[in-house]
Amino acid sequence: MTAAIVRSGSPVTLVGGGALGARDLDESLALAPRLVAADGGGDLALAQGRRPEAVIGDLDSLTGAGRAALAGRLHRIEEQETTDFDKALRSVRAPLVLAVGMTGGRFDHHLAALHVLLRRPERRCVVIGPESVVCLAPPSIDLPTQPGTAVSLFPMGEVAGRSEGLAWPLDGIAFSPARRIATSNAALGPVRLSMEAPLMLLILPRSELAILAAGLISAGPGWPAP
């Protein structure tokens, strides 16, 4: 297991070097006040007047100015088998990580971020996008959603689950990315989800970030490390 670089009893914001909206960092820090950067995310944090307590990655994207400003806070992980998001996420021990700047214009970057969620099921992490927030669904979660809230689920492998409060229940369905998915579902009110394996992505509107964060923190035991 990777040694922890950052340990926190409260949620952590992790900023990457991708697209960062004007409100992303402030909105995330309001819920997850400790700030860590993945490589070039250190430059984005500095540009918004923030100094992350640690910068983790292979450090091939952080500028010279960023290195100078963040001297003493740099943690280099040299291997090239994983992304900087993976390197940083596996090095943080916190009840929840909110990840901003992990997506951008390139679709392969989006896919790589989702791969990290799947690769690190023992880490509770939400990737914040411009319109949506996504996490790996835990074994069980309760969400106090309002009727009509969009609730999308996308399987990343063969997986089954159960639900309460969805317009189209999940019970008894074998989901698979090649055969059966569960996007564009809707809440009838509060929703309860249970999954049988760490293979289902849960996607909610950006406006539901606080609800999702609270639900993940309050959820029971998580998935074991692979």
Contact status, residue 30 vs residue 53, Cβ threshold 8 Å: no
- What structural domains and CATH numbers belong to the chain? 9-130 (3.40.50.10240), 131-226 (3.40.50.10240)
Residues 16 and 89 sit within 8 Å (Cβ to Cβ): no
Rounded Cα–Cα distance for residues 142 and 200 (Å) = 15
- How many Cα neighbours within 13 Å face the side chain of 154? 14
Cα 17 to its chain centre, rounded Å, is 15
Note whether 92 and 14 are within 8 A (CB). yes
Digitized pLDDT (tens) for each residue of the chain, 226 residues in all:
578 999 999 999 999 998 888 899 999 999 999 999 999 999 999 999 999 999 999 999 999 999 999 999 999 998 889 999 999 999 999 999 999 999 876 788 889 999 999 999 999 999 999 999 999 999 999 999 999 999 999 999 999 999 999 999 999 999 999 999 999 999 999 999 999 999 999 999 999 999 999 999 999 999 999 8
* 166 close to 186: Cβ distance less than 8 angstroms: yes
Distances (CA, A) of 94 to 4, 165, 198, 216: 10, 29, 19, 12
pTM of the model: 0.96
Please state whether beta strands 125-128 and 140-143 pair in parallel, antiparallel, or not at all (unpaired).
Answer: unpaired
